Structure 1
Amino acid sequence: MDLTGKVGLVTGAAQGIGRAFTEALLRHGAKVALVDLNKSIGDACKKALDEEFDAARSLFIACDVGSEEELKCAFKKTVDLFGSLDIVCNNAGINNENNWEKTININLTSVIRGTYLALEYMSRENGGKGGVIVNMASLSGLFPSAHGPVYTATKHGVVGFTRSIAATSKILDYGVRINTICPAFVATPLLDSVNSEQIMGKYYVFKDAVQKLIEHYGILEPSLIVQGLMKILQDEELNGAVMKITKSKGIHFELYETTLKQPEVK
């Protein structure tokens, strides 16, 4: 995909991986809607981006992705301003084992809703011209994590949902490729959550053990996750792929031994 003139929407865009995604899309000529809950950080991010890129090519929208109404509004504002939608990165996420209902809402429900909203605008079924959706998961979406069972459940959900809706898109010819990225530990504010007893609740007991895991596996820079995003956007064959990114192996993919026969639609 040539990104020049394309329109992207990134959630959790004001910092960390989301900001890195936004900068990369702008650098490659796209227009981007930055969607984030934190208005002060979002405004500062937009101001910094305007110093490097044409201000008319980006839009900051303060939005709680956990709110159906606010997320719908963010998508509509993006299309109303830029005229179309080609790329959606459902990146916003939290780690809060104490308030596990909120973790499910942000990490899984909003990703599902964001995917369906993206399809409303991009799917050929609805008169759209196609596009790419990238859902952020984690290695915790592939392996058990004793220190964060609900976070792990949400990321497993993202992986399963993405693979399934990607199959749907292919069978029904939506023209939309849908993939997920599962990185190991990344240098973002989310990484600090394991040090908060208020956030982790009874799983705070794993604090020192998690730090040892981080030291063992290392911390990825958001720039490497951007490389993964670019590979997904540029490789037209990738649909339903589960991309893993680790310090030791870099960018690689989860391989599944069996594929269930999918229903045929005539």
Structure 2
Amino acid sequence: MFDWTGKNVVYVGSFSGIGWQMMMQLMQKDIKMMGVMHRMENMEMMKKLQAMNPSVKVVFMQMNLMEKMSIDQAMKKMGQMMGHIDVMVNGESVLLDKDMEMMMGMNLTGMMHATMMAMPYMDKTQMGMGGMVVNMSSVYGLEPSPAFPAYAAAMHGVLGFTRSMGDKMIYQKTGVMFMAMCPGLTNTEMMMNLRDNVTWHYAESMVEAMESAKRQMPEEAAMQMIQAMEMMKNGSMWIVNMGQLKEVMPTMHWQM
């Protein structure tokens, strides 16, 4: 069982959705610091976060996931401010197939840069004490999405990165665990503009099915994800859907 006492937590993502709900719930734990990193600060939400637990120091660091220099500078400042990072949640997730460069940058490339820049402050052989990195993927990281193939590609990439970094050799050296969360359809802002973001004009029927399908609430999904984190299973992937938490057991198709 993961012990949250005195932990420094970094959240990379927006002020909405499942990732933000995770932060709200983690503020109820006995953590030490909460660092939020995003392109633009939401003062009202930051005040709300701080008010939830005055004993936790809450800080904001501006960072643009589309710019490597911005990521490097911001993560270095955050790491130096905290001293070390115990938990990192990569919670950014955008659905924008019509702008593949932005979507891949926000969902995948930026996340990888941020993670690698945070590692010196987590790695027990450097400035860290070990810890946990949680990456937000999707059920479309496990299955194809004909209406949003670029989004599916990014989500598959998140899982590939997580599984690779979650190798037991890396964990033994660094003490850093890696986990991936794959939520099902969730009632978030991302689901509000599906028709504007389809890759193919003939994907209407697929979008209609997604729009009419039952969705989980982000608060509910966040609670399940925190439960998965507390199990501390390195390299694991979890489907989080409609109140159910299920570990994904990948099939090995090739081995060196």
Instruction: Please indicate, yes or no, whether the TM-score normalized by the shorter chain is above 0.5.
Output: yes
1:93-142 deviations in whole A, cap 9, x for unaligned? 21111111111111110121122122221112324210000000001101
Paired position in structure 1 for 2:4: 3
Paired position in structure 2 for 1:24: 25
Amino acid across the alignment from 1:34: V
Question: Where do residues 27-66 of structure 1 align in structure 2 (5 Å cutoff)?
Answer: 27-30=28-31, 31-39=33-41, 42-54=42-54, 57-66=57-66
> How far 1:87 sits from its partner (Å)?
0.4
Q: Partner of 1:173: helix, strand, or coil?
A: helix
Paired position in structure 2 for 1:229: 225
Check the 8 A contact 1:179/1:240 in 2, yes or no.
yes
> How far 1:229 sits from its partner (Å)?
2.8
1:218-254 deviations in whole A, cap 9, x for unaligned? 2111223222332233223x0111100122x711011
Distance 1:157 1:119, change over 3 A: same
Q: Distance in 2 between matches of 1:207 and 1:5?
A: 49
Distance 1:104 1:91, change over 3 A: same
> How far 1:181 sits from its partner (Å)?
0.3
Paired position in structure 1 for 2:249: 255
Q: Distance in 1 between matches of 2:236 and 2:211?
A: 26
Distance 1:55 1:210, change over 3 A: farther
Question: Where do residues 117-132 of structure 1 align in structure 2 (5 Å cutoff)?
Answer: 117-132=117-132
1:128-178 deviations in whole A, cap 9, x for unaligned? 210000000001101110110110000001101110111165465210110
Q: Which has the higher helix share?
A: 1
Paired position in structure 1 for 2:188: 188
Alignment length, in residue pairs? 254
Amino acid across the alignment from 1:18: G
Distance 1:108 1:169, change over 3 A: farther
Q: TM-score scaled by structure 2?
A: 0.90
What percent identity do the matched residue pairs reach? 22
Paired position in structure 2 for 1:246: 241
Check the 8 A contact 2:63/2:71 in 1, yes or no.
yes
Paired position in structure 1 for 2:95: 95
Distance 1:212 1:156, change over 3 A: same
